A and B are shown apart, each in its own frame.
Chain A
Amino acid sequence: MSRGRHGARRALAALGDHAILVAAALLSALPLYLMLVASFQRSSDFDGVALLPTLEPTFDNYSTVWGEFGFDRMFVNSVVLSMSAALIATVLAAGAAYGFTRFRFAGRGVLLGGLIGMMAIPAIVVIVPLFIVMSDLGLVNQHASGIVAEAGIQLPFAVFLLYSYMNDLPVELFEAAEVDGASRWRQFVEIALPLSRPALATTFVISAIYAWNDLLIPLVLWQTEQLTTLMVGLATLGPGRTGVRDIPLLMAGVTISILPLAIAFLLGRRGLVRGLVEGGDR
């Protein structure tokens, strides 16, 4: 009998837990839902946010945004920016993290601490000097400026993530390789990198998401129309700039801009979480 009561209490507790989780999930999904609903409404019909989908959905907003407003080009720019920046940040951070875990050199602690401390500095603080430097180098409105700056902003976090992962890899593996006659480079390529795959993937994805969502750097360093990214384009679609309050159009633009991330996250969710919560010592 006591067992039954115990079971009932556990079921009740589980029910409570799930109720909280479901509520939280609904709360975070609601804006996305409203966004989707609004994006299929005709601008002329739109009067405030609707809870139920319209009975006469239209794809006009999408085709307008994609074709007339140049979201097709912006989409490509965003892909180029986020992929290149994430790739550069991940590659450089992998080398740096390996160096910090496997080499002992003077100033190592200061360098590592300083690098990780830079995570606390927001991009807005460095954007003016960054612009001046890029301008002096003649790189403003060139692909290189945005990509290099974005990669640089990501680097501290990327190093931090990869360092904590690589630092947990069993040191005996590297000692065994050393006795076996493997160079540091071979140890990096054949042991450290393959074993850090989950962390490398996580670093790449997080950097890519950050670069994709970033407004500041492309806004300042990529000022030509040819280099406008989705986020910059969205900002120009917003009410304040054009004076037009075309919410359905804006929602269609927002949907386009978050769709790739949502799909990528759904596909790589498991691996992403593993790289974040696990060390390399498994």
Chain B
Amino acid sequence: MAAIELSEARKTFPNGVEALRGVDIAVADGELLVLVGPSGCGKTTALRAIAGLERLSSGVVRIGGEDVGDLEPADRDVAMVFQNYALYPNMTVARNIAFGLRARGVAKEVRERRVREIAQVLDIDALLDRKPRALSGGQRQRVAMGRAIVRDPRAFLMDEPLSNLDARLRVQMRGEIVRIQAELRTTTVYVTHDQVEAMTMGQRVAVMNDGAVLQCDTPQRLYDRPASSFVARFMGSPPMSLLLGRLVESGGDLRCELGDASLAIPAEVLRARPSLARFAGREVVAGVGPDGFRLAAPGAAAGALTGAVQLVEMLGSEVLVHVDVVAERPSNAVAGPPPAGGPGGPSGARMSGRFERGVSALVGDRVAVLIDPGQLDFFDPESGDALPREREDASAPVRRAAAGGGT
């Protein structure tokens, strides 16, 4: 078991693609850290650099404090679980699991005992004599896990190990990986593009985009205090809705104008974020979480945005309602590509909310959107960075969302 560290890691492929542009990641001994981001963000390259399957163009990889940049994968004493499992099709399950032990010259009796133990932990003892092709996806996944666990390596590296499973199995294996990791306390780096997986599994989560780590924090803090608009709209299901507004000062009060609504910013929000005052008279991006607004009949309340219901998703215990509102949409660089189905509102601004079942909303309904100003989040309209809060943890690695936004 060992801590893992990537510092100032850069990787440029021969074809000129810059996969990593100075990545700093520190995984504590025994921690499960999730690397999450859209495809092409560099998360898999970072993982492969730790494994030694990819050489960094510059920067340092340390495992257990030791610089392993010049070591072959075999000498780094890590185990990797691949997206398609990479089980050796010509070997039985038992031989697959024992392969790493044999390669390292472990005695036969020890190998057989270890394989039996691991098979029991993973509940695959009945499958040991089968070939991989005779296994279901979930069983293959377990064998791949077994192959990693059996060697008792210094770290587990997992590259989207659940993405080939169906939804139900994915949830089950999610829990199992977390359980096993907690039992073994083996340092783990887990790569996924699925933010739900990241939130539910990671002790900490590093959000990557465009070859850089944008924010690395606990899931709760990522959700509550996204460092940038990219993180805000990547995390959460549905993610935060972003609207372009303007801060105005009137009679000593700061108000946020969004479309035809004007919201007074409460004193506690101002106290938490004194930098807001500097944006008076300027445009800001306002972020509204999925629980940060209510729906009402049109004209029912003053200070509401008007909108039309675009989509209603019944999830059983709750309902997701997507509303196209009359308000400005931030630039694509900040807000990402326009919502699917084309811009329904005048400028394509869409808000997504989570409501208790029984909310009366039908597609096409005109509604009033009442935003809770106490839950507003604010971002710079050009860089997408969150406006600084008081006592912002300055040590957290925060990088600018790259221009161009989500890829």
Question: Contacts A179-B73, A180-B100, A182-B99; is A173 near B79 (CB within 8 Å)?
Answer: no
- Shortest distance in angstroms between B322's beta carbon and chain A's nearest beta carbon? 39
Q: B72 interface residue, CB < 8 Å from A?
A: yes
A175 lies within 8 A of B88 (CB)? no
Cβ contact within 8 Å between A181 and B103: yes
Q: A176 touching B90 by the CB < 8 A rule? A: no
**Which of B72, B73, B76, B104 is packed against the most chain A CB atoms within 10 Å?**
B73
Interface residue A186 (Cβ < 8 Å from any Cβ of B) = yes
- Min Cβ gap A120→B in Å is 30
Known A191-B90, A195-B90: A179·B103 in contact at CB below 8 Å: no
- Measured CA separation A181–B151 after assembly (Å): 10
Q: A172, A180, A190, A191 — which one has the most chain B CB atoms within 10 A of its CB?
A: A180
How many B residues have CB within 8 A of the partner chain?
24
Q: Does A177 count as interface, using CB distance less than 8 angstroms?
A: yes
State in angstroms the CA–CA spacing of A244 and B143 once bound together: 71
Are A176 and B80 interface neighbours, CB within 8 A? yes
Is A225's beta carbon under 8 Å from chain B?
Answer: no
Q: Interface majority SS on A: helix, strand, loop or mixed?
A: helix
Report the Cα distance A187→B350, complex, angstroms: 53
**Bound CA–CA A173/B84 (angstroms):** 10
Closest CB-CB distance, B143 to chain A, in whole Å? 12
**Across the two chains, which residue of chain A brings its CB closest to B84?**
A172
**Using Cβ atoms and an 8 Å threshold, which residues of chain A touch B103?**
177, 180-183, 186
Q: A191 CA to B90 CA in the complex, in Å?
A: 7
Q: Write the chain A residue with the least CB distance to B83.
A: A172
The answer, yes or no, to whether B182 is at the interface (CB within 8 Å) is: no
Q: Do A172 and B86 touch (CB < 8 A)? A: yes
Q: Is A122 an interface residue (CB 8 A)?
A: no
Residues on the A chain within 8 Å of B180, using CB: none
Across the interface, do A178 and B72 meet the contact criterion of CB distance under 8 Å?
Answer: yes
The docked-state distance in angstroms from the alpha carbon of A176 to that of B72 is: 13
Contact B74 A182 (CB under 8 A): yes
- 8 A Cβ contacts from B90-122 to A: 90-91, 99-100, 103-104
Interface check B82, CB cutoff 8 A: yes
A67: interface (CB < 8 Å): no
Known: A194-B90, A195-B89. A180 touches B84 (CB 8 A): no
Within the complex, which residue of A179, A186, A194, A195 is in contact with B80, where a contact is CB–CB below 8 Å?
Answer: A179
Q: Which residues of A contact B52 (CB under 8 A)?
A: 179
For residue A53, CB closer than 8 A to chain B, the reply is: no
| A-side contacts of B329, CB under 8 Å | none
Q: Bound state CA distance, A261 and B302, in angstroms?
A: 92
With beta carbons under 8 angstroms apart, the residue of A175, A181, A194, A195 that contacts B86 is A175
Is the pair B53, A170 in contact by a Cβ cutoff of 8 Å? no
Contact-residue size bin, chain A (C-beta under 8 Å from the other chain): 10 to 19
Within 8 A of B (CB), among A180-231: 180-183, 186, 190-191, 194-195
Task: Tell me whether B51 is interfacial, beta carbon within 8 Å.
Answer: yes
| Distance in angstroms between the alpha carbons of A280 and B83 in the assembled complex | 19
Contacts of A170 in B (CB 8 A): 84, 86
Q: Report if B354 contacts A (CB, 8 A).
A: no
Residue of B whose beta carbon sits closest to that of A197: B90
Which interface residue of B78, B82, B151 has the most chain A CB atoms within 10 A?
B82
Tell me if B147 is interfacial: C-beta within 8 Å of chain A. yes
CB-CB under 8 A from A173, the residues of chain B are: 86, 88
Contact of B74 among A172, A181, A190 (CB under 8 A): A181
Q: Which residues of A have CB within 8 Å of B151? A: 180-181
Bound-complex Cα distance A191 to B87 (A): 11
Docked complex Cα distance between A81 and B94 (Å):
41
- Cα-based distance from A175 to B100 in the complex (angstroms): 12
Residues of B within 8 A of A179 (CB): 51-53, 73-74, 76, 78-80, 157
Q: Roughly how many angstroms separate A181 CA and B86 CA in the complex, as a whole number? A: 15
A186 nearest CB neighbor, chain B only: B103
A178 touches B74 (CB 8 A): yes
B99 contact set on A, CB distance < 8 A: 177, 180, 182, 190
Distance in Å from the Cβ of A48 to the closest Cβ of chain B? 56
Residue with the greatest number of chain B CB neighbours at <10 A, chosen from A176, A183, A186, A194: A176
In whole angstroms, how far apart are the Cα atoms of A137 and B130 in the complex? 53
Point out the residues of chain B lying under 8 angstroms from A183, CB to CB.
Answer: 74, 103
- Smallest CB-CB separation from B75: which chain A residue? A181
Residues of A near B51 (CB, < 8 A) are 179
State the Cβ distance, B39 to closest chain A Cβ, in Å: 17
Contacts of B147 in A (CB 8 A): 176, 180
- The B6-55 residues at the A interface (CB cut-off 8 A) are 51-53
Q: Nearest chain A CB to B61's CB is how many angstroms away?
A: 14
Nearest-CB distance from B114 to chain A (Å)?
14
**Which residues of A sit under 8 angstroms from B78, Cβ to Cβ?**
179
CB pair A175–B82 under 8 Å, yes or no, is yes
What residues of chain A lie closer than 8 Å to B86, measured between beta carbons?
170, 172-173, 175-176
Q: Which residues of B contact A176 (CB under 8 A)?
A: 80, 82, 86, 88, 147
From 52 to 82 in chain B, residues with beta carbon under 8 angstroms from any chain A beta carbon are 52-53, 72-74, 76, 78-80, 82
Cα(A120)–Cα(B350), bound, Å: 64
Query: Which A-B residue pairs are the 6 nearest by beta carbons?
Result: A180-B100, A172-B86, A176-B86, A194-B90, A181-B74, A182-B103
Pairs across A and B, CB under 8 Å, 30 listed: A170-B86, A172-B82, A172-B84, A173-B88, A175-B53, A175-B73, A175-B80, A175-B82, A175-B86, A176-B80, A176-B86, A176-B88, A177-B88, A178-B53, A178-B73, A179-B52, A179-B73, A179-B76, A179-B157, A180-B99, A180-B100, A180-B103, A180-B147, A181-B74, A181-B104, A181-B151, A182-B74, A182-B99, A183-B74, A194-B90
